[in-house]
Every structure is written in structure tokens, then in C-alpha cells.
Structure 1
Amino acid sequence: MVAAGAEHSVAITEDGNLYGWGWGRYGNLGLGDRNDRLLPEKVTVDGDKITMVACGWRHTICVSSSGGLYTNGWGKYGQLGHGDFEDHLVPRKVQALSDKFISQVSGGWRHSMVLTSSGQLLGWGWNKFGQIGVGNNLDYCSPVQVNFPRDQKVRQISCGWRHTIAITERDNVYSWGRGANGQLGNGITIDRNVPTIIEAFSVDGSSRQHIESSKPYPLSALGVTTYYFRRGI
């Protein structure tokens, strides 16, 4: 599995090891310093195997085999979720989520979103445009829950630069955050700080079209293969 930030890259090998390379000024490589790396270098994450990774602009988010969430890198806007606004040079477990099993992660420019195995969506970080989706424009340095109409659970998330998109268990698509260029897909150019339905792709929308791929089919049934890096190749 691979992920790319603005100027850094990360990868997980088939044996669960995390590697980083590229620009490291904010500790976004997780190697304990602020130096750049021209070649991939192994990142130590509490001795755990890593199963999932995502990059924000200058930060990195990864998930261990036990569902624990770790973040490192730029923290000026609280995007690491550790209750502070500091940079962290090595992956640090987000203690506020220690009782959750994280199933998906996504990183925006300065915000982060995670999905738990129970379908709960949480976010934190820069929130100037409402991209966290909790009804205000305050920055958060710890995870806060995002609520949906009729308490819908979430099955897929993705962060943009300043906005976020989610698909719920009812096959409804929601967006929130910066809307100046129409990126929220709701026909207007106004920012939204709570999830707003994209009717064109939602079961509960007027068009009743929906995104079939959002259903939790096994990847093998879709003909999708997940590729990991094999060391020594």
C-alpha cells in the first residue's frame, strides 16, 4: 500500500513495515528528525505491524493491525489529534481513539478524518471552512464525532484539500467544507460545516442514483487486488 503527501511518500510492505521518504521538515516521515530522505527508510511504530496509511499535506496517518491510530508530522492546526498543536517527529498513538478500531483513514491539507469499524466518523484539525463537519468553524486538536441525518453510519470517506466527502450505509453521499468552486456537488458555491447530501448520487436524493461501489463487497469479488511492497525487489 502506498500514499503520497505534498512532498513526501510512504509505503507499507507485505510484512507490515512502514517506510517513508521525501521531504521531512515537519517530521512527516516519522523518522525522528526533520531531514529529507532520498531513499525509503523504515519507520518504527511501537513494534506494531501497519495495515493502512494515508498522507495529509505535511502529516502522515497510519493504522496498526490491532486497529490503533498513529500520526506524525506537522501539527500546527491540530491535525495530528494528540490534543496539542505541536509537530511530532515519530508516529504517536492517538490516545483519544484507543478504545476504537480504525477501519479507514484520510488526510486533507490540514485536517484528518477516520472511520471506525462501527461506522462512526471522527475528524480533527483545521476547520476554517467547516471541513471537519461538526457545525462550526473551530479548529480541533482532538477527534470529534461527525453526525449524519437519521444517525446513518458511514462506510467510506475521502478528504480533499479543504473539504470532505462520505458515503453512508444507506448509499447516500454527503459533502462539507469549502464550496467556492462547486466541489461540494450540491449546485451552489457556499461553504458547509455539516454534512450536506449530494442528491445526484444518493438514494435519498431526488434523482435516486447512487454509487454502487460504496457497498462493502469483498475486494476479490470486484476483481481488485491490493498491492504491497516486497522487500528486496
Structure 2
Amino acid sequence: MTACVELDENDPEYVRSYVKIFGSNNWGELGSRKEGLNLLQLLGRMVDFAAGAWHYIAIMENGSVYGWGKARLGQLGDGLYGGKGMAPSPIEGIPFKPKKVVCGKDFTYLVSDPAEGEHQLLGKDKFNIISNMPEHVKDWKDIGATWHAIFVLFDDGTLTAWGKENMWKLLPPNLPLLDKIAVGSDHILAVTKEGKLISWGWGKHGNCGDLSNIGVEMKNDMVSGFWNEIRIPGEIQMIGAGYCTSFVVTKQA
């Protein structure tokens, strides 16, 4: 899927945001009852967008939030609880202006401006993902979610996390200060303040780097309780993580 924003040059105040979606539609993921390629239109400028396994969330510049797709676990708020969101619908009752959204498998996590750090989770309290939320996440720098856990990187380079430890520890001990994070479905990729690339979590498919000479006992290909340093030539510019995949963009000298 892709997302874009279009400005009508004849009316500077009139902005439309578009989300182009194609694929399966078991839970209304296409935002329509039609199968095939769909182009969804939202009024306003989109400032953030996130996708879970079967649901999608868009934050608009004015603070309004729209969601569609699977809704039976409350991931689209109380208004659509118990079914499917077949079209983008507003999510009401958020007590702050959201700036960032990430989605897990069956939850939505919304966060305000870093100066305030207010946050709210939509969904059930599985694995204590709501009851273990910190009071706030002021000074957050970046945020990501695995299928069952939330990770928050702060300006000072520290990382916090809560949710399900799916056979691997969410935070290795003595973790160095971090500059960047990328959160996949079940693993973490990070760049330290010193520019090193590290990873931990489920590394079965090579997404945590080469583990053949790790020198530490591992169970079920889990990089747990430690991290693996991945040596890649060049200066790291960008990292990304998905379902059992990791991506790194470097600048060569």
C-alpha cells in the first residue's frame, strides 16, 4: 500500500490525502467492500499512518484519527468494537492531539507531541500491554511495535518496552545508548550512538544478522538477553524492519 497527500493549488486550504491499497479484504483492509485496488480519500493533510496485521490508522494534521479493517478487539476504538471497519471511520474519545501512531497485531498505540508525551492504547489488555504502560513518554524520539509489544526510544538514547516477551527478552541488559530503532514483527534493529548496527529478537531468517558464530547458547533462533552486532561497510543512513526482514541504507565513502 502507499499513502500520499495532494494539495489543490486553486484552494490552499483544501488538502486531500490518499491511501492506495491492494490485497486481501478479509477484515475490510481495503477500506471498501470492493476487491482489488482501492484508492481511499481522506479530507485533510495526513501526518502519520500505520498498519497492523489487519487494521490501518491515519492521523490528520488537525488531530482527527481514522481507522479501518479488523475491529473486533477494540483496535479501532469503542465505536467499531466487535466487527469490521469497511470504510475509514473517525476514532473518537482520544483526549489529546496525536502526532504518532504504531500498530501491533491487534492494538493501536497513539502518542502526542514529545513535549507532552501523552499516550493511549486501543485494544484489549493482553499481555498487560495497557496496564504496564508508563505514566507518559515525554521526550520520545521514535516509537515502534512488534506484534505484541511496544518500544519507545527517547532523546537521551535510552529505550523502554512493554508487552509480551515472545520467547525473547524485550530489552537486553546493558543495552548501549541508541540513535535509531526499527521494529519488525518479532525483532529489533538499532543503531547505537557510536554508529554500530545491532539486533535482537527472533533471528531465524537472518534478519538479526549472521548468528553462526555468535558464541552464546541460543534456543529456537532467539537472540535473547544479548544483542548481535551486524558489521556492514559504510555509514548507516536508514534502517527498517518488517516480517522476518531487515533493511539498511548506507553511505559509502
Q: Which residue of 1 aligns with 2:223?
A: 192
Structure (1/2) with the larger strand percentage? 2
| 2:87 pairs with 1:39 | yes
1:53 is the counterpart of 2:82:
no
Query: What TM-score, normalized to structure 1?
Result: 0.69
Q: Residues 156 and 168 of structure 1 are in contact (CA less than 8 Å); yes or no, is this contact kept in structure 2?
A: yes
Question: Do the aligned residues in 2 keep the contact of 1:61 with 1:105 (CA within 8 Å)?
Answer: no
Structure 2 counterpart of 1:156, which letter? K
Q: Sequence identity of aligned pairs in percent?
A: 27
Distance 1:30 1:118, change over 3 A: farther
SS of match in other structure, 1:212: strand
For the residue of structure 2 that corresponds to 1:198, the secondary structure is strand
The aligned residue for residue 156 of structure 1 is: 180
Q: CA deviation at 1:99?
A: 6.2
Counterpart for residue 211 of structure 1: 236
Q: Post-superposition shift, 1:7?
A: 0.8
Aligned to 1:174: 198
Alpha-carbon distance change, 73 to 48 in structure 1, aligned in 2, over 3 angstroms:
same
Shift of residue 165, structure 1, vs aligned partner: 1.4
Out of 1-10 and 113-122, give the one that drifted further: 113-122
Compare CA radii of gyration and give the structure with the larger one.
Answer: 2
Cα RMSD, aligned residues only = 2.3
**1:172–1:197: 8 Å Cα contact kept in structure 2?**
no
Distance 1:124 1:173 in 2: 22
- How far did residue 195 of structure 1 move? 4.4
Which residue pairs with 2:164 in the alignment? 126
1:116 aligns with 2:154: yes
Please state how far the C-alpha of 1:72 moved relative to its aligned partner: 1.7
Give the corresponding residue for 1:82. 131
1:116 and 1:194 map into 2 onto residues whose CA distance is: 21
Distance 1:56 1:10 in 2: 11
CA contact (8 A) 1:177 1:192 kept: yes
| 1:183-230: CA deviation from partner (whole Å, max 9, x where unpaired) | 2113338311134243323xxxxxx6441347xxxxxxxxxxxxxxxx
Deviation at 1:45, TM superposition (A): 4.8
Match of 2:59 among 12, 15, 25: 12
Structure 1 residue 103 corresponds to structure 2 residue 128: no
Report how far residue 75 of structure 1 moved: 3.0
Partner AA of 1:212 in structure 2: Q
SS at match of 1:157: strand
Which segments of 5 or more consecutive residues in structure 2 lack a partner in the other structure? Answer: 1-47, 213-217, 240-253
* Per-residue CA distance 1:8-37 (angstroms, 9 max, x = gap): 000011212221111101101123522321
Pick one of 48, 58, 64 that aligns with 2:112. 64
Per-residue displacement from partner, 1:57-105 (whole Å, max 9, x unpaired)?
Answer: 1111111122222212143223x2423xxxxxxxxxx4x2426332321
Inter-partner Cα distance in structure 2 for 1:210 and 1:177: 24
Equivalent-residue separation in structure 2 for 1:76 and 1:64 (angstroms): 23
Shift of 1:5: 0.7
Which structure has the highest helix share of the two?
1
What is the TM-score when the length of structure 2 is the normalising length? Answer: 0.64
Moved over 6 A (4+): none
- Cross-structure match for 2:123: 73
Name the aligned partner's letter for residue 20 of structure 1. Answer: G
